[in-house]
Structures are given as C-alpha cells and as structure tokens.
C-alpha cells in the first residue's frame, strides 16, 4: 500500500490519487453549497411573502430574521479625527434578511 504522504529529498509528496479525490470532493462540495444557497433563498423568499417566522418538520428547523439596520463606528475616521465622539462618526447600515436552517440528523 502506498503511503499517503512521503518525505523525499527535502519535499513532501502527497499521493496523487488522494489529491485527485480531494479536488473532486471540493468540486462536489462547492456544487452542493450553491444548491443549498439556492434552496435557502427560495425558502426565505416564500417565508417573507407569507410572513412566516419559523417552520419545523421531521427534517429541518427554520427561523426567519427580518431585514434590519445596525449602527457601527467608522473606527478609522474616529481614530484619525476625534476619538472622543461617537455619534458624529457612527453610520447606519442595512442588514439583509436571513434565515437559519438546521438539519435534524
């Protein structure tokens, strides 16, 4: 059986069948991540349209969070100009709506 990792002439060599399999798994994982993102976006849109805040069945649990705003400090500007003043250098940002989906394993 070939070693997974070998050290030869000052270099690490990783078995090519392992690196090929790893690259394929990463490719599949990326494809699945994109599908999960697409499904979550559709679910979030449906929950927004029907004003549903939570959903649960035998397979998943979903909590919807409405879009909101948040106030943050522009720390670079604050540090450069007037470190004692908060309100003058705070900014309001929009926070997108989101959902949390938890698979039940």
pLDDT for the residue numbered 72: 84
Q: Are residues 62 and 46 in the same domain?
A: no
Contact by Cβ (8 Å): 93, 69: yes
| Helices (runs of H) and strands (runs of E) counted in the chain | 2, 7
Tens-place pLDDT, residues 16-34 = 888 888 888 889 999 999 9
Residue-range definition of the domain harbouring residue 41: 1-52
Residue 1's pLDDT is what? 52
Q: What is the pLDDT of residues 77-101, one digit of tens each?
A: 888 888 788 777 688 899 999 877 6
Whether residues 39 and 72 fall in one domain: no
Q: Around 96, how many Cα atoms within 13 Å sit in the side-chain half-sphere? A: 5
Do 48 and 9 share a structural domain? yes
> Which of 30, 52, 74 represents a domain boundary (last residue)?
52
């Amino acid at each position: 059986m070939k070693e997974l990792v070998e050290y030869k002439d000052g270099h690490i060599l990783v078995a090519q069948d392992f690196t090929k399999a790893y690259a394929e798994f990463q490719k599949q994982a990326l494809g699945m991540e994109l599908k999960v993102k697409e499904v979550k976006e559709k679910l979030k849109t449906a929950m927004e349209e029907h004003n549903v805040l939570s959903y649960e069945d035998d397979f998943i649990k979903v909590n919807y969070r409405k879009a909101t705003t948040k106030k943050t400090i522009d720390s670079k500007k604050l540090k450069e100009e007037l470190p004692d003043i908060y309100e003058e250098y705070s900014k309001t940002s929009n926070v997108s709506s989101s959902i949390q989906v938890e698979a039940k394993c």
